[in-house]
A and B are shown apart, each in its own frame.
Chain A
Amino acid sequence: MDYVTQEKYPLIDKKELSDVISLHLIYAPLIARKAQPGNFVILMKDENSERIPVTLVDWDGKDGTITVIIQSIGKSTAEINLMKKGESFLNVSGPLGTPVKVEKVGCVVGIGGGVGIAELYPIAKAFKEAGNKVISILGARTKELIILEEETKKISDEVLITTDDGSYGQKGVVTDALKELYNRGEKINSIFTIGPVIMMKYVALTSKPYNTLTYASLNPIMLDATGMCGGCKVEVDGKFKFACVDGPMFDAHKVNFDFLTKRNNAFKDFEKKSLEDFEKGHKCRIGLH
């Protein structure tokens, strides 16, 4: 194999999935070669960007491409979503994190919330390919934030959709749909959930009485993402773990979600300032209000 440095990482294709969510196809052959479900990458658009962790949605070892889907939630994500096809990231590193162990277990339920739907997709797909029955529950605030519906249908035996405002699927939250599965007597062997911390917390609380193995993909603040700084510490089973190397997927029944919520607020004031400064220069273009 040839070892050459990649000075930049071209954005080969880009699709806007909603006002605030974009799909990015990036040329990164060393990452595509080794990626597995549950891996993430670090993106830096420019020299002065943050190192942003993003879960891989798809990859193609032959073409050397990786796919990520990003929702604009702060300056860095908004800035990435404003990039155009043909532009390049200065740095992409990965695949990082411990991949999900994919095996035949029976029935697997994937629960994705918001942009977590995208991050759930490769995991659900892998479990389907491993011969499992896959039920996907997709939840979002409103219809336009439900993404990858068609793709998810292709790799699922059943897809349930919930929206907070009832604009699509059933009105309610993902845990309502999960309860229905339990109520109808569905035998669930394991659950994978990716999305907002509060959603993952309630998924864990819902599956706990049934003792269903439940895994949540945690999204703490990260810096180097190589196991070096400890900034991404999470509390699992009363012990600290580094999400970047030990995770990001952990046994949801053992995760202290409140700890994660608090720590994710560590730089809130800075993030607000960054976004305000950024929005001043990009009025009405990124769909953030």
Chain B
Amino acid sequence: MNMNKPKRPSPAIKRNEGRHQNPQERIKNFEEVALGFDFNEALTEAARCLNCPTKPCEKSCPVNVKIPEFITHLYNEDIQSAILKIYETNLFPAICGRVCPQENYCENACVLREKFGSVSIGRLERFVADWARKNNLLKLPRCEKENGFKVACVGSGPSSLAVAAELKKKGYDVTVFEALHEYGGVLRYGIPTFRLPREVINFEVENLKKMGVKFIKNVLIGKSILLDELRKDFDAIFIGTGAGLPSPLGVDGEGLIGVYSSNEFLTRINLMKGYKFPEYDTPVYVGKKVIVVGGGNTAMDSARCAKRLNPESVTVLYRRTKTEMPARAEEVENAIEEGIKFEFLTAPVSLEGDENGKLKRVKCIRMELGEPDSSGRRKPIPIKGSEFTIEADVIIAAIGQSPNPLIQKTTDIKTNRWNCLIVDENGRTSIEGVFAGGDVVRGGATVLLAMKDGKLAANAMDEYLKTRVKK
């Protein structure tokens, strides 16, 4: 036992933001930026928690992680119990501890927030998960006896992984289909290694395999196998195909060389490891001057990946101000520390290239904020006559994604006008026995909400299958 740890509760101890790789160093590598806590730091931070009986943190967590209880176990240096407590509601704490926007949920609700700064709940969750993984404290969750019902999950992103885990525990025979050659969906192709190390994704997938979940790669449902064929062989299906269709900038010059969607740029780097060219064969080009358009996490990921490929400059254009940016504040700060420049209240209006079709310049316009729009944020309005031109070799459009259209195209299934699958409050689609969740329903949200959808759908699928006869 650590006898020097502070008494609990000690809320006045300064909130620990965790150690980070030095910005000058980290822009030369793709290693994880946030280094988290060591054992003593974790105990000290845990000591800050008041263990409130009303548990506002737990209530505001979309998957209701039993936060005060796991922190109590951690403070008592019983990591085994801490991880099991987290596992009761969340099977992927090493992922959530890293990429969940805690500042909007548990840490926002923490009663210490205003006076002392919230408990660093996300970092504690990550610490417990990492410690348990590295010290082999994890036992696979107990799965009920196989009940013979077969369930297919389409896509291997966070929502499908959550469904697979929940239903396998309940004794279902689960098969996950992935279109690409590696599992994890957006965790794999979208989120960079410096935010989510691949060992974490691999570990979670391996655990599911050990539990008996079957994974099938290189299979595109809607092409290799039609959804209707799957319906013949599986008792229930979950669609978690994500929002992988990039929105174009919609300006002249979009076809120039050097114009990437964030999907293409990030996939080249994250999935295909283009940053290791020529050791890996897939190239990625950034040139000298990089422009990223957008204000979300994908824009931050694109800008920070580009920075690591050593161009002269990386500049983010965002049409509103820093206050309205949808990206996590922490990621914006990381980007600023890494020397990424921001042009707020700015949007591209056209792209100009040379005779070889290569991007050379971006014509921009300044914006001002008008009345709030349907999103509640003030609407950006172009300022007449404020056009200006900046040089650029590469422009990356990170202005949103819509759902992958393949299943919608090849199946008679109800969608809304953004081509998102329509589901009821239990994740049921318009087809009996077919459920959906995550970005294919939400049209571009977060890993955590996808996992929440997955859990919810898994329960609904369980209820549904209880009433059914096996196929």
Contacts and interface: CB of A to CB of B under 8 A. Distances in A.
Contacts of B215: 5
B272 A51 contact: yes
A91 B215 CA distance: 14
B374 interface: no
A226 B218 CA distance: 10
Interface stretch (A149-157, A164-172, A227-235): A227-235
A267 to B, nearest CB: 5
Name B's interface SS: loop
B325 interface: no
Contact of B244 (A31, A92, A228): A228
Contact of A229 (B217, B264, B405): B264
B465 interface: no
Given A3-B216, A93-B220, A48 B280 contact: yes
A50 B405 contact: no
Contacts of A91: 181, 217-218
Interface stretch (A10-18, A131-139, A258-266): A258-266
Contact of A270 (B217, B224, B258, B285): B285
Contacts of B271: 224
Contacts of A34: 223-225
B255 A235 contact: yes
B125 to A, nearest CB: 30
Contact of A93 (B179, B257, B278, B404): B179
B144 interface: no
A271 B224 CA distance: 30
Nearest to A270: B283
Contacts, number: 134
A259 B255 contact: yes
Name A's interface SS: mixed
A100 B10 CA distance: 70
Chain A CB count within 10 A is highest, among B248, B271, B281, for B281
Contacts of B50: none
A109 interface: no
Chain B CB count within 10 A is highest, among A5, A76, A240, for A5
A235 B280 CA distance: 30
Contact of B181 (A4, A93, A231, A277): A93
A75 interface: yes
Nearest to A35: B224
B267 A262 contact: no
A224 to B, nearest CB: 6
A245 interface: yes
Contacts of B264: 223, 229-231
Given A48-B273, A91-B181, A262-B357, A223 B268 contact: yes
A76 B254 CA distance: 28
Interface in B197-223: 214-220, 223
Chain B CB count within 10 A is highest, among A49, A233, A266, for A266
Contact of B224 (A4, A48, A94): A94
Contacts of B356: 262, 265
A90 interface: yes
A50 B261 contact: no
B255 A240 contact: yes
Interface residues of A, number: 46
A90 B181 CA distance: 9
B222 to A, nearest CB: 9
Contacts of B261: 229-231
What band does the interface of chain B fall in when counting residues whose beta carbon is under 8 Å from A?
35 or more
A44 interface: yes
A79 B119 CA distance: 54
Contact of A1 (B220, B233, B263, B357): B233
B405 A263 contact: no
B279 interface: yes
Interface in B237-295: 244-246, 248, 254-255, 257-258, 260-261, 263-264, 267-268, 271-273, 276-283, 285
B245 A5 contact: no
B179 A76 contact: no
A86 B268 CA distance: 30
A203 B356 CA distance: 23
Contacts of A230: 246, 248, 261, 263-264
Nearest to B281: A50
A224 B283 contact: no
Contacts of A49: 281
B278 A274 contact: yes
Contacts of A271: 283
Interface string A36-80: 000000101000111100000000000000000000000110000
A224 B272 CA distance: 10
Contacts of A265: 257, 356-357
Contacts of A50: 272, 281-282
A20 to B, nearest CB: 19
Contacts of B255: 233, 235, 240, 259, 263
Contact of A226 (B220, B272, B283): B220
A273 interface: yes
B357 A274 contact: no
A281 to B, nearest CB: 12
B281 A274 contact: yes
22 contacts: A3-B152, A3-B214, A3-B216, A48-B273, A51-B181, A51-B282, A93-B224, A94-B220, A95-B224, A223-B267, A226-B180, A226-B406, A227-B404, A228-B246, A229-B263, A230-B246, A231-B260, A233-B254, A263-B357, A265-B257, A265-B357, A266-B285
Closest 9 A/B residue pairs (Cβ):
A262-B357, A270-B283, A93-B218, A229-B264, A228-B244, A91-B181, A5-B216, A50-B281, A48-B280
Given A223-B264, A270-B283, A271-B283, 13 more contacts: A5-B216, A5-B217, A48-B279, A93-B181, A93-B220, A96-B223, A224-B180, A229-B263, A229-B264, A240-B255, A245-B406, A263-B357, A277-B278
